[in-house]
Protein backbone atom coordinates (compact mmCIF):
# COMPACT_ATOMS: atom_id res chain seq x y z
CA UNK A 1 0.00 0.00 0.00
CA UNK A 2 1.36 3.36 -1.00
CA UNK A 3 1.54 6.05 1.64
CA UNK A 4 1.20 9.59 0.50
CA UNK A 5 3.78 11.92 1.87
CA UNK A 6 2.81 15.51 2.41
CA UNK A 7 5.32 18.06 1.33
CA UNK A 8 5.58 21.68 2.56
CA UNK A 9 4.29 22.82 -0.83
CA UNK A 10 1.01 20.97 -0.45
CA UNK A 11 0.52 22.27 3.08
CA UNK A 12 0.99 25.82 1.85
CA UNK A 13 -1.57 25.25 -0.89
CA UNK A 14 -4.04 23.96 1.66
CA UNK A 15 -3.54 27.04 3.84
CA UNK A 16 -4.02 29.27 0.83
CA UNK A 17 -7.26 27.49 -0.03
CA UNK A 18 -8.51 27.84 3.54
CA UNK A 19 -7.63 31.54 3.50
CA UNK A 20 -9.46 32.12 0.21
CA UNK A 21 -12.47 30.15 1.42
CA UNK A 22 -12.66 32.28 4.58
CA UNK A 23 -12.49 35.46 2.50
CA UNK A 24 -15.30 34.18 0.29
CA UNK A 25 -17.41 33.34 3.34
CA UNK A 26 -16.85 36.83 4.76
CA UNK A 27 -17.87 38.41 1.44
CA UNK A 28 -21.06 36.35 1.28
CA UNK A 29 -21.92 37.20 4.89
CA UNK A 30 -21.39 40.90 4.19
CA UNK A 31 -23.73 40.75 1.19
CA UNK A 32 -26.39 39.01 3.25
CA UNK A 33 -26.11 41.63 5.98
CA UNK A 34 -26.39 44.45 3.45
CA UNK A 35 -29.42 42.78 1.92
CA UNK A 36 -31.03 42.37 5.33
CA UNK A 37 -30.37 46.02 6.21
CA UNK A 38 -31.80 47.15 2.87
CA UNK A 39 -34.96 45.10 3.36
CA UNK A 40 -35.40 46.47 6.90
CA UNK A 41 -34.91 50.02 5.61
CA UNK A 42 -37.51 49.46 2.89
CA UNK A 43 -40.00 48.11 5.42
CA UNK A 44 -39.47 51.06 7.76
CA UNK A 45 -39.91 53.53 4.90
CA UNK A 46 -43.19 51.85 3.90
CA UNK A 47 -44.51 52.02 7.47
CA UNK A 48 -43.40 55.65 7.74
CA UNK A 49 -45.23 56.58 4.55
CA UNK A 50 -48.37 54.85 5.78
CA UNK A 51 -48.36 56.71 9.10
CA UNK A 52 -47.45 59.98 7.42
CA UNK A 53 -50.56 59.69 5.26
CA UNK A 54 -52.75 58.97 8.29
CA UNK A 55 -51.33 61.87 10.24
CA UNK A 56 -51.75 64.25 7.31
CA UNK A 57 -55.42 63.27 7.00
CA UNK A 58 -56.28 63.51 10.68
CA UNK A 59 -54.09 66.37 11.86
CA UNK A 60 -55.50 69.86 11.81
CA UNK A 61 -53.32 72.88 11.24
CA UNK A 62 -52.41 74.71 14.42
CA UNK A 63 -54.48 77.86 14.92
CA UNK A 64 -52.60 81.12 14.61
CA UNK A 65 -52.43 83.14 17.76
CA UNK A 66 -53.78 86.58 17.11
CA UNK A 67 -52.59 89.43 19.32
CA UNK A 68 -55.16 90.81 21.71
CA UNK A 69 -56.39 94.22 20.62
CA UNK A 70 -55.24 97.06 22.79
CA UNK A 71 -52.33 95.12 24.21
CA UNK A 72 -49.05 96.83 23.63
CA UNK A 73 -45.61 95.49 23.90
CA UNK A 74 -43.59 96.25 26.94
CA UNK A 75 -40.80 98.71 26.36
CA UNK A 76 -37.44 97.04 26.34
CA UNK A 77 -35.47 97.59 29.49
CA UNK A 78 -32.78 100.18 28.95
CA UNK A 79 -29.28 99.58 30.11
CA UNK A 80 -28.36 101.72 33.07
CA UNK A 81 -25.23 103.77 32.55
CA UNK A 82 -22.31 102.46 34.53
CA UNK A 83 -20.47 104.94 36.71
CA UNK A 84 -17.09 105.77 35.26
CA UNK A 85 -14.21 107.18 37.17
CA UNK A 86 -13.68 110.86 36.49
CA UNK A 87 -10.45 112.52 35.67
CA UNK A 88 -7.74 112.84 38.31
CA UNK A 89 -8.58 116.51 38.77
CA UNK A 90 -12.29 115.79 39.44
CA UNK A 91 -11.40 113.10 41.99
CA UNK A 92 -8.99 115.45 43.76
CA UNK A 93 -11.64 118.18 43.91
CA UNK A 94 -14.14 115.77 45.44
CA UNK A 95 -11.61 114.68 48.02
CA UNK A 96 -10.89 118.27 49.04
CA UNK A 97 -14.60 119.09 49.16
CA UNK A 98 -15.37 116.13 51.41
CA UNK A 99 -12.59 117.07 53.90
CA UNK A 100 -14.05 120.53 54.37
CA UNK A 101 -17.34 119.22 55.72
Tens digits of per-residue pLDDT, 41-81?
888 888 888 777 777 677 676 677 766 665 667 777 788 77
85 in Cβ contact with 91 (< 8 Å): yes
Rounded to whole angstroms, how far apart are CA atoms 13 and 23? Answer: 15
93 in Cβ contact with 87 (< 8 Å): no
Tens digits of per-residue pLDDT, 86-99?
788 888 888 888 77
Alpha helices in the chain (DSSP H): 8-58, 88-99
**Three-state SS for 63?**
coil
Amino acid sequence: MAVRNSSPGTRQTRLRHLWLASLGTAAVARREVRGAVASIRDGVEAVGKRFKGRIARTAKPAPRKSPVRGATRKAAAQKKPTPRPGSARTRAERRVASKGR
